Structure 1
Amino acid sequence: MYIKFPGDIFLRMLKSLIIPLLTSSVISAIGALDLSLSKKIALRSIIFYATTTVCAVVLGIILVWTIKPGAGGPKDIKKEKHDPQKVVLTTDTLMDLGRNMFPPNLIEAAIGQGQISIKVPDQYKANPRFSNKTFNLKDYYPEWEFEEKLELRSTNVLGLVTFSVVLGVTIGKMGHRGQPLLTFFERLSEAMMIITGWVIWLSPVGVFFLVIAQIMDIPSFAALLGQLGLYFGTVLLGLFLHGFGTLSVIYFVCTRTLPFRTIAGLSQVLATAFGTASSSATMPITIQTLDNMGLDPRVTRFVIPVGATINMDGTALYEAVAAIFIAQRNGLDLGIGHAAAICITATAASIGAAGIPQAGLVTMVMVLDTVGLPADQISIILAVDWLLDRFRTTVNVMCDCLGAKLVDMLSATDLRKMGDPDKVNADTHELVEIVKGDV
């Protein structure tokens, strides 16, 4: 208990960043989208990013369910106490998901989320037929009670994300009238990124004590290493399949050309992304490289900054795999409803992830909190996170570049109608210097 104290303080700091970082990042990212450039270009970019992120999460969930890297863990892992008479239906879980996306009170959403519970009548508790997960509830409906409870100490992330997206779209629609509000959230987002950097700077100390505490509770260190190896391999396999499989298929379907020649031309960009583990730090080189490849500067200056902010395919895949891996280590069986919650939350969390190294730690805690998993076991995966962070950043940047190339090819006609590509707000070198200054 005492040796874990510094790690608990570190986790508390991470959790305290969830609400302000998530809301400010999502609102500022969506509110700042320049739809006046071309609604078709903006729409194509957003659809591409949303599609690839969802595909990444689904791929990660399928792989971790298939490989089961967390299965066969130590028998004495502390599990949450579950009511043996508690009845959980998939339909109720999905309905809870819908209810939590539209909270009746934003303050309430910050401290808890609703959950439907079914009270089993006393005369049926001893009936063995209710030990089965599937039964005909209709026959006993008049005697069963349904009630919605507010589960405290569990932030309703889905509700906050829904409200943030709606508010961001509204601010964007308001134009110059919404600029003061957008500026406020942009400055708040910048401040939260600075604080996040401070907390991450303290992560070696916090992670050290968390890992030590976890190791002391595990009887077999060799088993833990085996699980971590499978987890590491699952994430790498998912990133490889997504980068060279899913993205390539989407690119080929939309353009009828293979992306491998384009990927080969991005070697410097991908190497920089791997070395810095930061999408934002890689942005200047990304813009220059795509300009040299002949892409329209109006596309690169819209798609790349937006992608560096809201497109985090590798991060979303990693968070989905990590959440289910931790559940498997604890012997918890997550159903379809929980998988849907992880999919939505990981997608939204990837939008809120700052483009700085290891900022996904904060959003990882958010995903775990959504499905009720113990946040303290994040220390297990942090042992290999520093290396995985570089691989997933590389996939993020590659997706940004392929998205820019795809949008440029699909928007060729629209770009010609818009006029001379040299008539942009600033020339190439000036914009690159501006981006460098922001980084």
Structure 2
Amino acid sequence: MKTNNKKKLGLTTKIFIALILGALIGIVINLTCIKNPFVSKYVVQGLFYVVGQAFIRGMQMLVVPLVFVSIATGAAAIGDTKTLGKVGVKTVIFYLITTILAVTVALGVANLINPGQGANLSKLESIAKTATTTVSTTGAATKTSMVDTLLNIIPTNPVQALANGDMLAIIFFAVLIGIILAKLGDKTQQVHNLLNQCNDIMMEMTMMVMKVAPVCVFCLIARTFSTLGYSVMFYMLKYMIAVILALAVQCLVVYQIMLKVTTGLSPFVFLKKFFPVQAFAFSTATSNATIPMNIDTLYEKMGVSKRISSFTIPLGATVNMDGTSIMQGVAVVFVAQAFGIHLSLANYITVIATATLASIGTAGVPSVGLITLTMVFNSVGLPVSGISMIMGIDRILDMIRTAVNITGDAVCTTVVAYQNGDVDKDVYYSDVKKDLEEAHSEA
């Protein structure tokens, strides 16, 4: 009896293939028959548009309920950190600070490279209407004072905020509910269980929508390239460069400065010893798979107590998504520039706040980062259609993002452990001492 050894393609591989095929077919249509009335009306603006927009609407349908229940349940889990004492509080604060810095770095690098400048995606007829509406909305938002922008985070009517998709207000309300659930404990266990079940339902619904992603991405990309031609590739490459550069700055500069300033330990020793874990994270593209290796490496090579790392590393794999936040920050600037939409200082602050708070609820299911990206776009009035330019190449960047995410977890663990006297410096500098001893013996 013959066994079938054929390996099934994963969802991310299918999406990447759909991107390539969609780009190729779109370029061919653009160069050969875009002026044909049948092709233009029924294929490009008909089939491609309807299928692509149906997928975009499906993602928009998920945003509010998914974000609310996932952040509420995530905050409920984190809200109990007071029982863990100072370690829990320090860890959560550290993760929030690094996420804020990550989004800030992303926005800075993106504005330096300007990945979407000149792309002129508003040429896409139906999207142009969305962009026009968004420009007027964004223009109105710039008249709101900074004080009002901050005050609007607190909803006067949570139900209205949910109905209108007011994301910062929704996140604030969800975090508040999560903290209260954790505080009340057994008294509200049934409500907690209900939210967990709702979270499971929304995760399953997300997977159902994502199963049709390859076909829909093909249509979205094919329509974009049919309308704009191969010049779009240049802007997609600039977007990739901006994301990779921002990830490098976060990993090699921000984390290492924080490590040096807060502990005095050598960043070079840290990077040298931690590189195998980064390589493993890069190859697997999943933070959860690196948890055991991360904890063991910190203990055996850096002398970090497992008493600390056994809490901080799993927590970081769940809520510390600096790499995803960087992608979202660059994507915001990329799409805004591509559609010719001006972002004010208030808009940038909103992006930082939204991406930071959303990091609590981004773990658990592949591609949820794209759903929360929809949420970030909605928070500043950007057209969600712009995500179609990002989805296909996201797999390549996802591997690098994962390596950055787990590096942030390890740096946080080392800092918190050091401040609690749980780092053995002799183990941390063991390789350095061996090198010095060998150098003296040779001399």
**TM superposition score category, shorter chain reference:** 0.7 to 0.9
In structure 2, give the amino acid aligned to 1:20.
Answer: P
Does structure 1 residue 316 correspond to structure 2 residue 325?
yes
Does structure 1 residue 228 correspond to structure 2 residue 236?
yes
Instruction: Answer whether contact 1:273 1:394 (CA < 8 A) is retained.
Output: yes
Residue 375 (structure 2) aligned to one of 346, 366, 369:
366
Instruction: Answer whether contact 2:138 2:342 (CA < 8 A) is retained.
Output: no
* 1:181-220 mapped onto 2 (5 Å cutoff): 181-218=191-228, 220=229
Counterpart-to-counterpart distance in 2, 1:268 and 1:178: 44
Seq. identity, %: 31
* 1:391-406 mapped onto 2 (5 Å cutoff): 391-406=400-415
Does structure 1 residue 290 correspond to structure 2 residue 335?
no
Counterpart-to-counterpart distance in 2, 1:54 and 1:95: 20
Does structure 1 residue 258 correspond to structure 2 residue 260?
no
Counterpart-to-counterpart distance in 2, 1:335 and 1:98: 14
Displacement of 1:86: 10
Q: Match of 1:39?
A: 85
Displacement of 1:85: 13
Displacement of 1:209: 0.9
Change (3 A) 1:14 1:83: closer
Instruction: Answer whether contact 1:280 1:355 (CA < 8 A) is retained.
Output: no
What SS does structure 2 have at the residue aligned with 1:4? helix
Change (3 A) 1:22 1:89: closer
Q: Match of 2:173?
A: 163
Instruction: Answer whether contact 2:277 2:293 (CA < 8 A) is retained.
Output: yes
Instruction: Answer whether contact 1:24 1:185 (CA < 8 A) is retained.
Output: yes
Counterpart-to-counterpart distance in 2, 1:12 and 1:88: 25
What SS does structure 1 have at the residue aligned with 2:223? helix
Counterpart-to-counterpart distance in 1, 2:318 and 2:325: 13
What SS does structure 1 have at the residue aligned with 2:367? coil
Q: Match of 1:105?
A: 157
Q: Match of 1:71?
A: 117
In structure 2, give the amino acid aligned to 1:70.
Answer: G
Counterpart-to-counterpart distance in 2, 1:27 and 1:85: 29
Displacement of 1:370: 1.2
Residue 355 (structure 2) aligned to one of 346, 350, 368:
346
Using the TM superposition, name which of 289-298 and 245-254 deviates more: 289-298
In structure 1, give the amino acid aligned to 2:311.
Answer: F
Change (3 A) 1:253 1:104: same
Counterpart-to-counterpart distance in 2, 1:404 and 1:103: 35
Deviation string 1:187-206 (CA, Å, 9 cap, x unpaired) is 43334333323333322111
Q: Match of 2:21?
A: none
Deviation string 1:169-188 (CA, Å, 9 cap, x unpaired) is 11222233344433333343
Instruction: Answer whether contact 1:316 1:350 (CA < 8 A) is retained.
Output: yes
Residue 15 (structure 1) aligned to one of 41, 49, 60:
60
Instruction: Answer whether contact 1:279 1:396 (CA < 8 A) is retained.
Output: yes
Counterpart-to-counterpart distance in 2, 1:81 and 1:310: 34
Using the TM superposition, name which of 90-99 and 302-311 deviates more: 90-99
Counterpart-to-counterpart distance in 1, 2:376 and 2:235: 21
Using the TM superposition, name which of 19-28 and 41-50 deviates more: 19-28
What SS does structure 2 have at the residue aligned with 1:103? coil
Instruction: Answer whether contact 2:75 2:360 (CA < 8 A) is retained.
Output: no
Instruction: Answer whether contact 2:66 2:199 (CA < 8 A) is retained.
Output: yes
Structure 1 unaligned regions, length at least 5: 113-154, 416-439
Change (3 A) 1:303 1:95: same
Using the TM superposition, name which of 232-241 and 297-306 deviates more: 297-306
Q: Match of 1:331?
A: 340
Superposition CA RMSD, Å: 2.5
Instruction: Answer whether contact 1:93 1:338 (CA < 8 A) is retained.
Output: no
Instruction: Answer whether contact 1:309 1:354 (CA < 8 A) is retained.
Output: yes
Deviation string 1:242-262 (CA, Å, 9 cap, x unpaired) is 000011111111101123322
Counterpart-to-counterpart distance in 1, 2:300 and 2:196: 31
Instruction: Answer whether contact 1:255 1:409 (CA < 8 A) is retained.
Output: yes
Counterpart-to-counterpart distance in 2, 1:86 and 1:243: 33
Q: Match of 1:80?
A: 132
Does structure 1 residue 375 correspond to structure 2 residue 384?
yes
Counterpart-to-counterpart distance in 2, 1:87 and 1:395: 35
Deviation string 1:117-160 (CA, Å, 9 cap, x unpaired) is xxxxxxxxxxxxxxxxxxxxxxxxxxxxxxxxxxxxxx111011
* 1:168-183 mapped onto 2 (5 Å cutoff): 168-183=178-193
Displacement of 1:326: 0.4
Residue 94 (structure 2) aligned to one of 27, 45, 48:
48
Q: Match of 1:305?
A: 314
Q: Match of 1:243?
A: 251
Counterpart-to-counterpart distance in 1, 2:156 and 2:83: 36
Displacement of 1:332: 1.1
Counterpart-to-counterpart distance in 2, 1:21 and 1:286: 29
Deviation string 1:15-53 (CA, Å, 9 cap, x unpaired) is 222122212222222211342553210111011101100
Instruction: Answer whether contact 2:135 2:342 (CA < 8 A) is retained.
Output: no
Counterpart-to-counterpart distance in 2, 1:193 and 1:86: 31
Instruction: Answer whether contact 1:358 1:386 (CA < 8 A) is retained.
Output: no
Counterpart-to-counterpart distance in 2, 1:216 and 1:19: 32
In structure 2, give the amino acid aligned to 1:16.
Answer: M
Which one has the bigger helix percentage? Answer: 2
Q: Match of 2:75?
A: 30
Structure 2 unaligned regions, length at least 5: 1-44, 424-443
Q: Match of 1:387?
A: 396
Counterpart-to-counterpart distance in 2, 1:86 and 1:350: 24
Instruction: Answer whether contact 1:277 1:356 (CA < 8 A) is retained.
Output: no
Instruction: Answer whether contact 2:138 2:381 (CA < 8 A) is retained.
Output: no
Using the TM superposition, name which of 289-298 and 346-355 deviates more: 289-298
Displacement of 1:235: 0.5
Counterpart-to-counterpart distance in 2, 1:353 and 1:255: 30
Displacement of 1:273: 1.8
Counterpart-to-counterpart distance in 2, 1:243 and 1:86: 33
In structure 2, give the amino acid aligned to 1:29.
Answer: G
Instruction: Answer whether contact 1:308 1:355 (CA < 8 A) is retained.
Output: no
What SS does structure 1 have at the residue aligned with 2:123? coil
TM-score under structure 1 length normalisation:
0.78
Using the TM superposition, name which of 370-379 and 9-18 deviates more: 9-18
